[in-house]
Structure 1
Amino acid sequence: MSPWPHRISGTAFSSLATGGGGAQAMREVCAAQESKHRLLVRLLVEEARPPRAALVARAYEALSEMEADAPQEVARCLRHPAVGAWALRTCRGRADPGRLAAVALAAAVRTGRRLRLEVPVKGRLMLPSVGLLTLADDVPEVAEVSVEPASYGAELRAGGRTYQVDVSGDRPGWQVLHRVPVARETYVTIDDLDPYRWPGDDADERLTGERRRTWVACLGEAWKVLRASHWTAQGELEAAVSVLTPVVTRSVEQHSASARDTFGAIALSDPVDGIGTALTLAHELQHAKLNGLSQVVELVLPDDGRRFYAPWRPDPRPLFGLLHGAYAHAGVAGFWRRHTQDPEHGLHAQVEFARWRESAFQVTGTLLDSGGLTEAGAHFVGTLRDTLGRWRTEPVTPAAAVQARLRSEDHRKAWVRANT
C-alpha cells in the first residue's frame, strides 16, 4: 500500500476559497486525506513493538495483497473516518495498533476474500465500516479469526464458533453499520457503533429501528432539497461525506459538528425535517472542507493568544476558529440565498441570508486585518470576502433586513454582557 503526496491544485484551492468548490475539488481534498491515513498506518506498522509487531505486520501484508485485486474496497476501508481517528491516536501512543487486523478483516468481508489473522477482540470485534460482532465469553483476548465469503457477506470463525456477518442487517451477536441510499449509487453509513467514530463525549448509542427510519426519511428529503437547489453542495457531499454519526443534543435545538480527526464524517442529533437536515449537512460540509484543506495548506499563523468576537458564538474565538465560523456561515448564507423566493421559506430565508452574509463579510475583514493569516490564508479569505461582497448587493425586503440587523445587534449585546 503506497501513499502519495498530499497536494491541492491551485484550481481547487481557488474554487474552495469562493465558498464552494465542487465535486472535483473535494475529490482532491479526499485524496489528500486518504494519503494521510495511509501514512499513519505505515507509521504505526513501523513503530509497532512486541507483542503486537508480528500481528500488525501480517495485517498490513494482508491489506496490501487485497489491494492488488480490489483497490477501491480497500481504499474505502482506509478512508473510513474511524480508521483515520484510530490510526492517528495510535501514532500518538494512545490506542492499540492491533486494530489494524480488524481493518484487514473488514476489507476481507468487503472484497469477498478468505483471510485468517490474529486479532485483539476482548469480547467484541469491531470491523470498521462494516459492523460489530459480540463474541462468546470464552474467546481469548487475542484470537485467531477467519473470514469465509458468504452470500449475505461472510462467515467469521473465532474460538471454535461461527458467526454470520451480514452486510445488510443484524443477526444474533452481529450489528451492522446501516448504509442509507441517498442518491443513485450514493450511500452514507450511519456509524453508531465504532468506538473511534467521534472524538467528543456526546456520541449517541445505537439507533433504534424507529429512530433510524426517521433518519432515513429526513435524509431522503434532504437530498431532494439538495438536488433541486444545491447541486454544488450535493456533489461535494457525495464526494466527501461517507459517514453520519448520531450524537446527543443537550438542548431542544438540533446539534451538529465536524471534527478534524474524523474527516468524512458529520455528527448530528436526530434530524427533524428535510430542509433542516439539508442545511445542517451544508453547514458541516463547510467545516469538513476547511478541515481537509487546512491539513494540506497552512492558512493561519500559530495562535498568538488573541481572541475575537464571532457573531455566531457566545464566546471569544481564536483566529482559526473565527475562520472556520466565517467559512461555515458563508455556506449558511449561500444555502438560504437559494430559497429567498420560496413560498414556504421566503421571509425566513431572506432574514437568514441577510444576517449571515453580513456577519461573515464583517468577520472576513477582521481576519484580513488581524495579521494572523499566511499568504495563502489571506488569498483564501480575500476570495471569500469577494463572494460575500457580491451577495451583499442582492436585495432583500426591508422587513427581512430589519429583522436580520436586530438579531445581529441582540447577539452582540449579549456577547458584550457575557465577555466584558
Structure 2
Amino acid sequence: MNVAPLPAPAFAELARTSSAPAGLTLLRSALHTRRLLLLKALLVRVHGQREAVEPGALGRFERSWDLLERVERGHPAVVRDVLDYPMTGVWLATVLAEPAGPGFDRLLARLDMVSLTAALRCGGPLDLTVENPDGLLSLPGVGRLRVAADRVRISADDRTVRFHPDGARHPAPAVLTLVDRRHGVLAGRGPDWSPVRPLPRGTARLDDLDPYRVPVGAAGGSVGTAADHDDIDHAAWSARWHAAHELLAYTDPGRAVEVTRSVRVIVPLVPRGSRHRGATLSAAPGAVLTSLPDGAQGMAETLVHELHHSKLATLHEIVPLYGPGRDAVHQVGWRPDLRPIAGVLHGAYAHLALADLWRRAATVDGVRKSWRSDAGQQFDELHDQVGEALAILLESDELTPEGREFAEQMRRHHASLGAAPLAAG
C-alpha cells in the first residue's frame, strides 16, 4: 500500500497497545488509502472485463461511479466517511473475490447504494431511479427502507428525500430529512423505514441492517450469524454500551477515548449456546461483531479485545509483520487448537491489551470490588500466556524484521506490566 513511512515512535506505541492519538490517526489514514485502492481495483476490473458484465449492470455501475465522483468534488469528507464505513469494506472484499458472472453483476449494484448515500448526506437536488430486486433499499450507515417495487425513483431537494415505487407520482410514506448538513446526518420516518441506531457517547452505531454486516458464504460462517433486526433489544445494547464506556472512562480514560474514536459499528451476533461470541473482520476495521456480553465488564473487555484485532489488521496492511502462511502451527494458552503465526500474533496482541486493562482494573482505587478481584485473577493467568506466546513469536522465522521489532516492543510492554500476583485484589 502506498502510504507515508511509519514513524518509529508511532510504531512502538501501537506495539505497546497504546491509545495515543498519533497511532490512531495513522491507522485511519491507512484505512482510507486501502479503501480507495480497492475501489480503484474494482473500477479497473470492470473496465477490463466490460464484455463479461451484463450491459444493464455495467451502465448502472458507471452511473453510480459518476455520481460518487461528482459528490466527492464538493463534499470529500462525507464521501470519505461513506467509503470508510466498515460494511463498505466487506462489500468491496466480497465483490473483488467474486468470479465474473451473474453473481459479480449483482454485487456491483451495491455501488448504487454507496453513491446514493453519499449524495443524500450532502443535500441538494437529486432525481434518479435505482433497481430494487430484493425490495430493500439499504443505505450504509443510515438505514433500510422496505419498498415493494423492482425500481424506485428517488427525489430530493436541499433537505427532504422521497421515494416513489416504480416511479409513481405519489411517493411512499417514508421520508428522509437532512437534519445536520455539516456532518451529513439523515433522519427518517415512516412505517417501512428502519434506522441504523446511534449508540450513546459518540458516533458509533448499532448496525443490524446492512446486508454486508457479516460476510456471506463460508467466511460468514466462521464469524457467526448476524442477529435479526426484529429480535434485538436495542435498549439493552445501548445500556450495555453506555455502562462499558462509564467503566472504561473510570478505569482507563485513554482507552475509553480510543474506543470512542475507533469503534464505528457494533454488529449484533446470535449467541452460540451459552457462549459469548466476538469477532472482527480484516476487511472492516472499526466494526466489532459480538453477541450481547454479560454486563458492563464483558462489553468493555470485548471492545478492547476486538479493537486490537482491528488495529493489528490495519497495521499489517501498512507494514507486513509476517510472511505468507506456512504449515507451522503453535499451541497458545488461550485456545485449545493450534494456531499459525498470524493467529499467535493477533491473539498475543489482543490479550496484551486486555492484560493492560485488567492490571489497571485491579489497581485503580474505586473500581468495584467484583471486577477488581476478577481482573486480578485474569491478569495473573493471561500475563503468563502472553509471555509464552511472545517467546514463540520472537523465536519464529516467519516474522518480517518489522514484525520482530513489533513483537520486541510488545515484550517490553508485557514486562513493564510486571509479574507480581494481583489475585488478592
What secondary structure does 2:227 align onto? coil
What displacement does 1:275 show? 1.9
Contact kept? 2:213, 2:226, Cα under 8 Å: no
Equivalent residue number for residue 285 of structure 1: 307
Matched, 1:47 2:27: no
Q: 2:292 aligns with which of 270, 286, 291?
A: 270
Contact kept? 2:206, 2:267, Cα under 8 Å: yes
Matched, 1:332 2:330: no
Contact kept? 1:225, 1:275, Cα under 8 Å: yes
Give the Cα–Cα distance (whole angstroms) in 1 for the partners of residues 381 and 287 of structure 2: 28
Q: 1:258 aligns with which of 271, 280, 286?
A: 280
TM-score, scaled to structure 1? 0.86
Give the Cα–Cα distance (whole angstroms) in 2 for the partners of residues 41 and 88 of structure 1: 10
Matched, 1:22 2:20: yes
Equivalent residue number for residue 135 of structure 1: 147
Matched, 1:124 2:140: no
Q: Deviations over 1:289-310 (max 9, x none)?
A: 1111111111112222011001
Q: 1:155 aligns with which of 146, 149, 162?
A: 162
Equivalent residue number for residue 196 of structure 2: 177
What secondary structure does 1:156 align onto? strand
What displacement does 1:210 show? 6.6
User: Alpha carbons of 1:277 and 1:169: their partners in 2 closer, same or farther (altered >3 Å)?
Assistant: farther
Unaligned regions of 5+ residues in structure 2, if any? Answer: 177-185
What secondary structure does 1:45 align onto? helix
Contact kept? 1:193, 1:205, Cα under 8 Å: no
What secondary structure does 2:156 align onto? strand
Q: Deviations over 1:297-342 (max 9, x none)?
A: 1111222201100111110000000110100110111111111143
Equivalent residue number for residue 396 of structure 1: 422
| Amino acid across the alignment from 1:277 | M
Equivalent residue number for residue 409 of structure 1: none
Give the Cα–Cα distance (whole angstroms) in 1 for the partners of residues 355 and 273 of structure 2: 24
CA RMSD of aligned residues (A): 2.2
Give the Cα–Cα distance (whole angstroms) in 1 for the partners of residues 285 and 394 of structure 2: 27
Equivalent residue number for residue 115 of structure 2: 104
The aligned length equals 389
| Amino acid across the alignment from 2:199 | V
Equivalent residue number for residue 189 of structure 1: 205
What secondary structure does 2:130 align onto? strand
Give the Cα–Cα distance (whole angstroms) in 2 for the partners of residues 299 and 308 of structure 1: 17
Matched, 1:56 2:61: yes
User: Alpha carbons of 1:97 and 1:9: their partners in 2 closer, same or farther (altered >3 Å)?
Assistant: farther
Q: Deviations over 1:86-106 (max 9, x none)?
A: 112212235421211111111
Q: Deviations over 1:108-150 (max 9, x none)?
A: 22222333344332122211111112112xx33xx36324147
User: Alpha carbons of 1:6 and 1:176: their partners in 2 closer, same or farther (altered >3 Å)?
Assistant: farther
Equivalent residue number for residue 365 of structure 1: 391
Identity %: 29
Give the Cα–Cα distance (whole angstroms) in 1 for the partners of residues 263 and 175 of structure 2: 25
Q: Deviations over 1:171-196 (max 9, x none)?
A: 222211111122xxx22111111111
User: Alpha carbons of 1:7 and 1:233: their partners in 2 closer, same or farther (altered >3 Å)?
Assistant: farther
Give the Cα–Cα distance (whole angstroms) in 2 for the partners of residues 30 and 19 of structure 1: 16
What displacement does 1:261 show? 1.5
Unaligned regions of 5+ residues in structure 1, if any? Answer: 401-420
Equivalent residue number for residue 344 of structure 1: 370
Equivalent residue number for residue 410 of structure 2: 384
What secondary structure does 1:254 align onto? coil
Contact kept? 1:255, 1:269, Cα under 8 Å: yes
Equivalent residue number for residue 38 of structure 1: 36
What displacement does 1:208 show? 4.4
Q: Deviations over 1:195-249 (max 9, x none)?
A: 1112223233334487110000111111111222222222322232201101111
Give the Cα–Cα distance (whole angstroms) in 2 for the partners of residues 282 and 80 of structure 1: 20
Question: Which moves more between the two structures, 94-103 or 332-341?
Answer: 94-103
Matched, 1:249 2:256: no
Contact kept? 1:180, 1:189, Cα under 8 Å: yes
Equivalent residue number for residue 179 of structure 2: none
Equivalent residue number for residue 153 of structure 2: 145
Q: 1:296 aligns with which of 318, 332, 337?
A: 318
What displacement does 1:395 show? 4.8
Equivalent residue number for residue 418 of structure 1: none
Equivalent residue number for residue 198 of structure 1: 214
Contact kept? 2:332, 2:344, Cα under 8 Å: yes
Give the Cα–Cα distance (whole angstroms) in 2 for the partners of residues 149 and 277 of structure 1: 41
What secondary structure does 1:253 align onto? coil
Give the Cα–Cα distance (whole angstroms) in 2 for the partners of residues 396 and 144 of structure 1: 61
Equivalent residue number for residue 75 of structure 2: 70
TM-score, scaled to structure 2? 0.85
Contact kept? 1:19, 1:327, Cα under 8 Å: yes
Contact kept? 1:149, 1:155, Cα under 8 Å: no
Q: 1:354 aligns with which of 369, 380, 384?
A: 380
| Amino acid across the alignment from 1:379 | E
Q: Deviations over 1:16-71 (max 9, x none)?
A: 01122423311211221112112222222233233323322221221222223322
